[in-house]
Structures are given as structure tokens and as C-alpha cells.
Amino acid sequence: MGCIMDVIECMYKRRSIRKYSDKHLEDEILLTLIKAATAAPTACNSKPWEYIIVTDKEIKSEIKKKLYFAQYDAPAMIVVCGNMKLAMSGPVRDYWIQDCSAAIENILLAATSMGLGSLCIGLHPVESSARPLYKILDLPNEVIPLGVVYLGYPAEEKEPRTQFDEKHVYWQKYESRKHRARKKNSKYL
């Protein structure tokens, strides 16, 4: 499958899509997304990630029921997990979070480049979101679900954008001149 979209254009185009058409996602497409995920950088090449593709209606609905802020219907979900038996030990153990986060972003960008809509939902470290997935997905204790990506053909359109703000940028060293607290009434979605 050819992707002609420029990478930066694709990054701007990636938006959180919360409305999907019912159109089925082929297994081949889902596997292409996992291939993109597993091209991400990973500390010491440890590859602590594991992916659970969920297309079964019942299982999707069980997951959705437990995620208060994810009340959307998507044809497919990919649950991205870190396996602590594969992660490194010692002070670098938590790099699994960066590895899996990079993998998630790769899924989102690959999906965008293929004309799909996607939404990233956070699980770990929010106990009340991650915990219910152990039972639903038969996860062993050493596997930690970091996030779930909702996927499907989009049924809403959003403007491409960057959220560039020079206030977030420092040159050479940090300065204490800039925003120090979250703005009141700032938008979550």
C-alpha cells in the first residue's frame, strides 16, 4: 500500500477522530499498522511492546463500558501493552512507556496516512482504566496496558493543525518567564 502523504503533513492531519463509519477494517490493514508500530525506536532494542487487536463486538463493548472518557464506537481497537518480562530492569525499566508511546504515535500516523481515523485513549498509569482490562483481555500480571487506539474510517472531518506555541520553546536553557500553570477553562478535547 503506497503512502504519498508527506510526513509533516501527516502529523498535522492526525486528529482525534471520535466518529467512525461501520465499514470493516481488513486484517491486513490492522497488521500494516502493527508493522508501523514496531518500527518505532525502543530503548536498547528491547521491544517490550505487545499488541492486542480487538474487533469482536462483545469485547469492544466490554472495554468501552470501563472507559468513561472513551464512549465512542470504532470498528477496531489496538490495545498497546508493555510486557515487564521483556522490558529492561533497573532504572531504565520505565523506558517501556516511551517505547510503547512511540509505537502508539506510529500507529496514529500510519492510520492517518492510510485515510483512517484514530483516537488514542490512555490507560496506565490510571489504575481504574488499566485494571479492568486484565479480566476482559486475559492479561497476565506482567503485561501492562498503556493505551488503546480506536480505529476506523472517519465519519467526521477535522482541520489539520499544529499546536505550535513559542511559549513552549526555550533556546539553550530554561527560563522562568513563561506560563507556569495550566490556564483556567483550557480545552481538553
Ligand X SMILES: Cc1cc2nc3c(=O)[nH]c(=O)nc-3n(C[C@H](O)[C@H](O)[C@H](O)COP(=O)(O)O)c2cc1C
Q: Which stretches of the chain bind ligand X, using CB under 6 A?
A: 15-16, 18, 69-70, 119-122, 189
Q: Which is nearer to ligand X, 173 or 182 (CB)?
A: 182
Q: How far is the CB of 172 from ligand X (least distance, A)?
A: 28
CB of 116 closer than 8 Å to CB of 151 = yes
Cβ 130 to ligand X, closest distance in Å? 12
Nearest to 34 by CA among 85, 80, 99: 80
What H or E segment, with its residue span, contains residue 85? none
Pick the closer one to ligand X by CB: 71 or 172.
71
Query: What letter represents residue 136's amino acid?
Result: I
Nearer Cβ to ligand X (18/60): 18
CB neighbourhood size of 51 (10 A) = 18
CB closer to ligand X out of 159 and 175: 159
CB atoms near residue 43 (< 10 Å): 17
Burial class (CB in 10 A: 0-12, 13-18, 19+), 63: buried
Q: Which residue is nearest to ligand X (CB)?
A: 122
CB of 183 to ligand X, least distance (A): 14
In whole angstroms, the minimum distance from the beta carbon of 3 to ligand X comes to 20
